[in-house]
A and B are shown apart, each in its own frame.
Chain A
Amino acid sequence: MATAQRLRVERPRRGRSAFSGERLIPVLLVLPSAVLIGLFVYAFIGYTGFVSLTAWRGINPDYTFVGLQQYQQLFDLERFQADLSNTVRFTALFLSASIVLGLGAALLLDQRLRGTIVFQNVFLFPLAISFVVTGTVWRWIFNPNYGINLLLERAGLGFLASDWLTNVDTALYAVVIAAVWQMSGFCMAMFLAGLRSIPEELREAAQVDGASWFQTQRMIILPLLNPILLAAVIILGHISLKIFDLVFVMTFGGPGFATDMPGLHMFIATFRQNLYARGAAIATVLLLMVAVLIVPYLIWQQRAERRP
């Protein structure tokens, strides 16, 4: 983080704002935030990275340097291998389901039917609710004795019944469904904002040229939504990589490691098992996964802004 002094000296002189105070004060005003973020984000990430290179286990810090040993052990760990494969499967399912449902709902809402605003609010309200609440409710719904199974049987769909959260094969799907319930509205909001920014003339022109409704959507509308699709994939994708609360509440990673995720594993390793160095290594891997997704996006957005 650059100091105020350096910023002041390096700023090119401009005729009108000749007062040096006028150049110094803006820097001083953002300095508290810059220092806080410098410390709480960048220095803390550095410290976590450093801890991941030590042998720290137990309550008291142990800064014995062991190089990349924690990472070697981590990638050999059955639980962490499960974490990575779960994250990939969860992210793929969660993203595709959210995008399909979000885009579908947005297209439906964009048809200007009566009552649209009511449906829009129904699709969006889960976004305001805590993952902990979502997890509590969906845990009941997926309870084999009380929940969705009874409803399915009553509807003649008994063959779809399952042990859900207690079955190694289905637990991840149950968590995905709860996550989609909570977050697909975000996709819908983004797509809907995009759809409503497309000029009406474009659709009318397509119709004048004889395009059907479906052709108009597929050839004209969907391609214009590509930038939004990219943004949705990046935002939801990084949320998915970081998923913690929902699995904590619904399964705590189980049964076995069937729904364990890096975010949860880090918490358990560090604060339940006191394996601080391992926790730091998991956190660093998680951060790198998120950074691969987010950093190019941030750079792209900054460039897009600089363009006139």
Chain B
Amino acid sequence: MSIAFAARRRRGIRPARGLLYFLLVAVAVFYLLPVYVVVVTSLKSFVEVSNSTPWDLPQAPTLDAYATAFDRLRRAFFNSVFLVIPGTVLSAFLGSLNGYVLSKWRFRFSNLLFTLLLFGMFIPYQSVLIPVVTVLQKVDLYGGLPGLILVHVVYGIPITTLIFRNYYAAIPTEMVEAARVDGSGILGIYRHIILPLSVPAFVVVFIWQFTSIWNEFLFAVTIASDPDQQPITVALQGLAGSLLAQYQVQMAGALLTALPPAIIYMALGRYFIRGLLAGALKG
């Protein structure tokens, strides 16, 4: 299954172009409706948000809501940054190493090991949540970012291993064999042959892990009990609770929370889709 969206010429009959465009626009309206809501509402003042024309464009656009939202979410925003960076880098490194060994240095039961690792990608995290909390409390990592980083690194191993293993499977094994004949060791081959070829896979994994960890909520709300160490998803949810009718602030906060993954998606969407499909489609 090729996941490349390669352009191709197509001729022949098909339904009227106008009808197709009409349908495309209709679907697009559904997808863009929340974007309209966020932008329009967040640019209004509290007075204007409270009146009865919520779907109209702001009459007196203001950035006040963004100032309030940023003030309330700044700390959580940077908590998420400091959570995502180590979480992404460490799980990518482990995944790369695993993927290399499981594709190029297979041993007995390595396929079984791979399948056992993969299962960890699909489990509902509720089924490990009680021992996660208990163990983190025991080792004094409960309550904030260090514990969350550990959890995201560990539960990131399956997907990062899968992406790297499938990527390395396409590198000719002869290259590895030739280097072995030349006397290179397993780690030397990794560093000098595999790693330089791994950049596209690292991009896919970085994007995938960054987005997943940034957006994650269950572990965040369970483990980050210290309000000063909350990731941004938890803080956004808290914002809605404390500023109940301040919809303009909620929407500005929502946009702030969505911004980093959205920017990454816009810049590197191609790689994002590859990560997205990695769990479902092979090779």
A residues lining the B interface (CB < 8 Å): 2, 7, 10-12, 22-23, 25-27, 29-30, 32-34, 36-37, 40-45, 47-48, 51, 61, 101, 104-105, 108-109, 111-113, 119-134, 136-141, 146-147, 150-151, 154, 181, 185-186, 189-190, 192-194, 196-197, 200, 203-204, 207, 212-213, 228, 231-232, 235, 238, 241-242, 244-245, 248-249, 262-263, 266-267, 270-271, 276, 279-280, 282-284, 286-287, 290, 294-295, 298-299, 301-302, 304-306
1/0 per position for B4-48, CB-CB distance to A under 8 A?
A: 111111101111010011011001101111100110010000000
Q: Does B59 contact A (CB under 8 A)?
A: no
Q: Which one of A128, A196, A232 contacts B5 once the chains associate, using CB atoms below 8 Å?
A: A196
A25-B186 CB under 8 A given contacts A190-B281, A245-B218: yes
- Give 18 A-B contacts (CB < 8 Å), ordered by A residue: A25-B186, A26-B106, A33-B97, A40-B155, A41-B120, A120-B5, A124-B265, A124-B269, A128-B272, A132-B237, A141-B37, A146-B54, A193-B3, A249-B237, A262-B126, A270-B129, A287-B126, A290-B124
Chain B count of residues within 8 A CB distance of the other chain: 106
Known: A37-B117, A125-B265, A298-B118. A134 touches B280 (CB 8 A): no
Which residue of B10, B24, B254, B258 is within 8 Å of A200 (Cβ)?
Answer: B10
Mostly helix, strand, loop or mixed at chain B's interface? helix
Question: What CA separation (Å) do A43 and B123 show in the bound complex?
Answer: 13
Q: Mark B99-139, 1 if CB is under 8 A from A, else 0.
A: 01110011111110101111110111011111110110000
A192 surroundings in chain B (CB, below 8 A): 5
Contact B272 A132 (CB under 8 A): no
> Across the interface, do A181 and B30 meet the contact criterion of CB distance under 8 Å?
yes
Pick the contact of A34: B108, B113, B272, B281 (CB < 8 A): B113
| Known contacts A34-B113, A130-B217, A130-B261: A136-B37 contact under CB 8 Å | no
* B240 interface contact, C-beta 8 A: yes
